[in-house]
Amino acid sequence: MDKPEKILATALRLFVTYGFHGTPTSKIASEAGVSNGTLFHYFKTKDDLVVALYTSIRGELNQFLVRQINTASTSKEKFRRLFVGSVEWALHNGDAFYFIQQFRFSPHLNLVSEEESRRQSEVHMELLQEARNANWLKPLPVDLIATLTASQISGIHQYLVEKTVSPDEQRKLIDDVFELTWATVANPELP
């Protein structure tokens, strides 16, 4: 694990515990095992570090989701992999998922370029656009469907971390909520 990666990993852990401004760069550096100067050698400012962490995490998530989707063929199955995959990734990467939410409701969000934002939602949007064009989805704005689906994902995830649920029960609940979500957005006219 090279130093920039180590810095990012340490920053993630501290940010979710103490918040952005609650964690001094000096603490990130020392806990990452590098000096103060090294941190600023790789990240010009603290804000730079925060944004870099966000795009790095989103990149990993997207990579994971693409791999999930590619194992399916039909639209519904792809959609299921996207949904279930997201929840499971969130469960296995609690800190990272929490950080994403934290970041999205912070002023730092404005520091992400339009281009980067688009790239991050590309996977979802392409899949949905495709399904919509093939008439698999209800005649609703695709953006709305995307937002509602994302909401359901963070909803079921939030429930699963608050309650303690056995792994079997977890899988079943995730699948149930997926079917509910699918029924919500899918066109009932077609199979």
Partner DNA sequence: TACATTGTGGAGCGATTAGTCAATCAGACC
Partner DNA sequence: GGTCTGATTGACTAATCGCTCCACAATGTA
Footprint on this chain of DNA (rule: CB under 7 A)? 3, 21, 23-27, 33-38, 40-42, 44-47
Question: Can you read off the two tokens belonging to residue 120?
Answer: 């991050």
Q: Which positions ≥6 away from 62 have C-beta within 8 Å? A: 120, 122, 123
Residues 137-176 that bind its own copies (CB under 8 A): 140-141, 143-144, 147-148, 150-152, 154-156, 158-159, 162-163, 173, 176
User: Cα(15)–Cα(92) distance, rounded to whole angstroms?
Assistant: 18
Given the rule CB under 8 A, which of 31-39, 78-86, 124-132, 178-186 is the region that contacts its own copies? 178-186
Q: How far is the CB of 24 from DNA (least distance, A)?
A: 3
Instruction: Give which of DNA, its own copies, none residue 45 binds (C-beta under 5 to 8 Å, depending on kind).
Output: DNA
Site for its own copies in 1-20 (CB under 8 A): 17-20
50 token code pair: 């925060």
Cα 191 to Cα 189: distance, rounded to the nearest angstrom: 7
Q: How far is the CB of 116 from its own copies (least distance, A)?
A: 17
Residues 24-83 within binding reach of its own copies (CB under 8 A): none
Q: How many other CB atoms sit within 10 Å of the CB of residue 127?
A: 18
Is residue 161 within 8 A of residue 91, CB to CB? The reply is: yes
Q: Are 86 and 65 in contact (CB under 8 A)?
A: yes
Span from 33-41, 54-62, 64-72, 104-112 in contact with its own copies (CB under 8 A): 104-112
34 touches which of its own copies, DNA, none (CB within 5 to 8 A by kind)? DNA
Burial of 62 (0-12, 13-18, 19+ CB in 10 A): middle
Q: How many residues sit close enough to its own copies to count as binding (CB under 8 A)?
A: 35
Taking a C-beta distance cutoff of 8 angstroms, is the pair 71, 46 a contact? no
Residue ranges that bind its own copies, judged by CB under 8 A: 17-22, 98, 101-102, 105-107, 140-141, 143-144, 147-148, 150-152, 154-156, 158-159, 162-163, 173, 176-177, 180-181, 183-184
